[in-house]
């Protein structure tokens, strides 16, 4: 069992200093955020990646938020695929493992129609990534809003159909199910997957699911740590709270408190 913990983004430090700070805090991972666009050159990505490798920090990428593989406009689908491919290219030079993204909205289509469309688009993306020999994994994320593709079952169905990887966002699962999360059920469905790439934070939710992320409550950290140790799961946990470095550090302290040795 291997536990890797770290923040989403560099908390404004920039990727180089962010990686250094992650290592200084005794954390093991960082997710490079391309929230509003892929604004990193391949050369700079390689510099960041070389440093992360030297410091033994595992990197992943969150692709830009505006992605919709189920848009009724062909241009928006093509733009979405370009953003994912740009992220995958930078991921290759960063030495990143997972390219996290939100696949799309249901819109006027049914969940079943949406699933079929997203499967075909992801298959095409994986084919192009293999052609380019980029060593990254596409990792569609479980989403927190009820009108967005990305329930746990949809995400795992996508994995089964395309052989892509995935990102389990525990906060999103909580918000999508309006405050309920059955960890036994979640981990049962994840049997057979050796290492899980995960997101975690506090979250506010309403009738439509996720509203916004918040500082992670101690109680929720304690519960998740306990469940992971009980299931003996190897995980990377990226914290997405407004203070992700501190929350990742608090999560590390809870793992140590419950008997895990880093």
The predicted structure's pLDDT at residue 180: 85
Pairing of strands 167-169, 195-200: parallel
Pairing of strands 195-200, 234-239: parallel
The predicted structure's pLDDT at residue 35: 87
Indicate the pTM of the whole model: 0.96
Q: Residues of the chain with pLDDT > 70: what percent? A: 100
What domains, with CATH codes, occur in the chain? 3-257 (3.20.20.150)
Query: Rg for the chain (alpha carbons), in Å?
Result: 17
Instruction: List, for residues 16-30, the tens digit of each pLDDT value.
Output: 999 999 999 999 999
Residues comprising the chain, all counted: 262
The predicted structure's pLDDT at residue 41: 97
Q: State both tokens at 34.
A: 């391309």
Mean pLDDT of the 57-70 span: 96
Closest CA to 118 of 70, 76, 79: 70
Number of C-beta neighbours around residue 218 at 10 A = 11
The predicted structure's pLDDT at residue 125: 98
Q: Is 17 helix (H, G, I), strand (E, B) or coil?
A: helix
């Amino acid at each position: 069992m291997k536990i890797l913990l770290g923040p989403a983004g560099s908390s404004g430090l920039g990727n180089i200093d962010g990686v250094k700070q992650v290592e200084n805090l005794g954390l093991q991972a960082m997710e490079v955020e391309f929230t509003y666009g892929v604004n990193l050159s391949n050369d700079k990505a390689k510099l960041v990646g070389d440093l992360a490798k030297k410091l033994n920090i595992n990197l992943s990428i969150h692709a830009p938020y505006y992605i919709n593989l189920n848009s009724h406009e062909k241009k928006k689908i093509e733009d979405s695929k370009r953003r994912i491919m740009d992220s995958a290219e930078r991921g290759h030079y960063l030495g990143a493992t997972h390219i996290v993204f939100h696949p799309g909205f249901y819109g006027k289509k049914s969940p079943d129609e949406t699933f079929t469309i997203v499967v075909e688009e992801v298959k095409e993306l994986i084919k192009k990534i293999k052609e380019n020999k980029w060593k990254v994994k596409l990792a569609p994320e479980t989403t927190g809003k009820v009108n967005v593709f990305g329930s746990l079952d949809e995400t795992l169905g996508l994995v089964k159909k395309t052989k892509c990887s995935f990102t389990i966002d525990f906060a999103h699962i909580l918000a999508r199910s309006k405050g309920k999360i059955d960890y036994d059920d979640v981990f049962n469905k994840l049997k057979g997957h050796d290492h899980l790439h995960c997101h975690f934070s506090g979250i506010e939710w309403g009738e439509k699911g996720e509203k916004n992320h918040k500082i992670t409550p101690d109680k929720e950290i304690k519960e998740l740590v306990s469940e992971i140790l009980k299931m003996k799961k190897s995980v990377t946990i990226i914290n997405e709270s407004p203070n992700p470095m501190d929350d990742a550090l608090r999560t590390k302290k809870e793992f140590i408190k419950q008997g895990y040795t880093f």
